[in-house]
Structure 1
Amino acid sequence: MGYARTALLLAAMTGLFLAAGWLVGGQNGLIIAFLFALAMNGFAYWNSDKMVLSMYGARQVDAATAPRLHAIVARLADNAGLPMPRVYIIENAQPNAFATGRNPDNAAVAATTGLLNLLSEEEVAGVMAHELAHVRNRDTLVMTITATIAGAIGMLANFAMFSAMFGGRDSRDNPLGGIGALLVALLAPLAAAMVQFAISRSREYEADRIGAEICGRPLWLASALARLSKGADAIENRAAEANPATAHLFIVNPLHGRAMDGLFTTHPRMENRIERLRRMATEMGQIGPWG
């Protein structure tokens, strides 16, 4: 059901972009929107991981420069049946982590220094298992495509607003005239954000579940999530604040001013995620405050 839901939401996002192109420019706008989406997604497919890692100043490490983290990731990748991903460390006091890459053969996982300083080895394993679950599910590619289309819709909305203000008259190239352009400018970005957030939240729950299976201890991840959430609340991540479109990549929301588990949050409520992991641990016969 999770994969079917994601496919439907991605289809909705693509359909929204094409519909917006049609409302702004009719048949020609539809064709241009389609070609533009193909070009943007092609660029994102090959370059998204490099862009994100560079954006956060991540440095690649190996068994010699970060033996603890590298060994944890290697062990978990073997458990998950995945190729060894590239491992990165980000010099950032906020405890957090993310995965990126177009497929398991070209994947990378990154952890902040704040995370490595805060968590125990078991909790780090829980976090890295969650990120490897994203890699195995190919969530990194899905979320990149979603973010790219959402950005394109935002650009189209700006164009529509300009068109409505300075050229908003009925014509065969604009099926609804100025009204259509205004609809795109006002509603398209809102609808795109709702679809993007829905995809992100559904993927986080699934990555928690599969990550717990990969490391074998759901409560390691539950404990890590509780500590990471408090750390992210207390410490600002300036790079993430400057690039909010990447917030959905992180295991916990890096942005401040976060809301409830509703339509406009990139992550589920932490209490809900932890409760699911605790139930999973109980079903596996694991007991104790954190296993």
Structure 2
Amino acid sequence: MGYVKTAMLMAAMTALFMGIGYLIGGSGGAVIALIFAGGMNAFSYWNSDKAVLRMHNARLVTERDAPDYVGMIREMTARAGMPMPACYVIETDQPNAFATGRNPENAAVAATTGLLRRLSREEVAGVMAHELAHIRNRDTLIMTITATFAGAISMLANFAMFFGGNRERQGGILGTLAIMFLAPVAAALVQMAISRSREYEADRGGAEICGQPLWLASALGKIDAFAKGIEMPAAERNPASAHMFIINPLHGQGADKLFSTHPNTANRIAALQEMAGGMRDVPRSGARTTSEPLTHSRIPRAGRGAPKRGPWS
């Protein structure tokens, strides 16, 4: 997901905003929508990551607060040659995680307390390596922009209920009803337009960063099972951000599957298992490589803090 695709998404969302504005308020509504869209474009680039973190009440943590979690991220970013992202924790029982930020120099990762409590140390490492791969691949900008704009489109559709249809054209009531029901669907389709292949690519990149595809494969199976039985209230209130998580956090049924932005979990696990088999077939040299796994001793435990110099430095 590069900057060109991000620009195309911004342009498409701007056009959609103007179209909805015209249907609501005629020519004046289109101009207002254009101004609003321009402001949203600027806001999304600079602040959408902060907005998404606020949506989920994410709490910034340091190595003093969470030495095991933050130390793990520090070790893996050093190994991948990446800047250290800000680390956040979301207080919710559903295990899940996401990454956000406009570029690797201004990025953040967020893990739920359910993820840190319910998964093993290796599985958490696999999940967070996946999120670091999103940052390295620069997926995060388009992910956060999509979340912000999809929510804004739904909000604009709600305005139609109060301001009515465009009086410059007949059938204003029908146009208003169409906006109310079709605009949120359009927002969901925009999210679907973000290629599902980015998840497969982040799975592959994450497996390379942590060195063990099976850690992530095991984590995906557990997260998928838990997500079906444990609700995440913040995600239910802000469904436009669901595509940012490693597994769809929404607890609903039919519609969530119809508009799913995530690949089938079983297919992702199968791809990781195939990758693990290929890595076992590659002979190892004496030097450390990017496929060498993290071990318990290399991931800082609570109370120990992170070493000043990582094992891959």
Q: Distance in 1 between matches of 2:156 and 2:172?
A: 15
User: Is the 1:261–1:269 Cα contact (8 Å) retained in structure 2?
Assistant: no
- How far is 1:237 from its partner? 1.9
Query: If the length of structure 1 is used for normalisation, what is the TM-score?
Result: 0.82
User: What do residues 99-151 of structure 1 show as CA deviations (whole Å, max 9, x unaligned)?
Assistant: 12222222111212221122222211111111112222332221222222222
Partner letter of residue 237 of structure 2? Answer: A
Given that 1:94 and 1:235 are in contact with CA atoms closer than 8 Å, whether structure 2 keeps it comes out as yes
SS for the counterpart of 1:102 is: strand
SS at match of 1:101: strand
RMSD, aligned CA: 3.1
Query: Does 1:213 pair with 2:208?
Result: yes
More helix by share: 1
- The 3 A distance-change label for structure 1 pair 256 and 100 is same
Counting only pairs closer than 5 Å after superposition, residues 20-35 of structure 1 correspond to structure 2 as 20-35=20-35
1:74: how far off?
A: 1.0
For residues 117-132 of structure 1, the aligned pairs below 5 Å read 117-132=117-132
- Distance across 2 between alignment mates of 1:91 and 1:125: 19
* Partner Cα separation in structure 1 for residue 175 and residue 132 of structure 2: 43
Q: Cα 1:36–1:110, aligned 2, differ >3 Å: closer, same or farther?
A: same
The answer for the alignment partner of 1:228 in structure 2 is 223
Aligned equivalent of 2:285: none
Give the match's secondary structure for 2:92. coil
Structure 1 position 176, deviation (Å): 7.9
Q: CA–CA distance in 2 between the matches of 1:10 and 1:38? A: 9
User: Would the alpha carbon gap of residues 117 and 154 (structure 1) be closer, same or farther in structure 2, given more than 3 Å must change?
Assistant: closer
Task: Answer yes or no: is 1:282 the counterpart of 2:277.
Answer: yes
Map 1:239-250 to 2 at 5 A: 239-250=234-245
CA distance in 1, matches of 2:11, 2:273: 33
Deviation, 1:76, is 1.5
Would the alpha carbon gap of residues 86 and 10 (structure 1) be closer, same or farther in structure 2, given more than 3 Å must change?
Answer: same
Q: Counterparts of 2:131 and 2:69 in 1: how far apart (Å)?
A: 13
Distance 1:29 1:134 in 2: 37
- Is the 1:16–1:192 contact (alpha carbons within 8 Å) kept by the matching residues of 2? no
Aligned to 2:140: 140
Structural mapping, 1:85-234, within 5 Å: 85-164=85-164, 168-169=166-167, 171=168, 180-199=175-194, 201-234=196-229
For the 8 Å contact 2:88–2:111, the answer to whether it is kept is yes
CA–CA distance in structure 2, aligned partners of residues 109 and 186 of structure 1: 34
Q: Percent identity?
A: 62
Change (3 A) 1:275 1:14: farther
Q: CA deviation at 1:210?
A: 2.0
Aligned length: 282
Taking structure 2 as the reference length, what is the TM-score of the superposition? 0.77
Partner SS for 1:245: helix
Unaligned runs of 5+ in 2: 283-292, 294-313
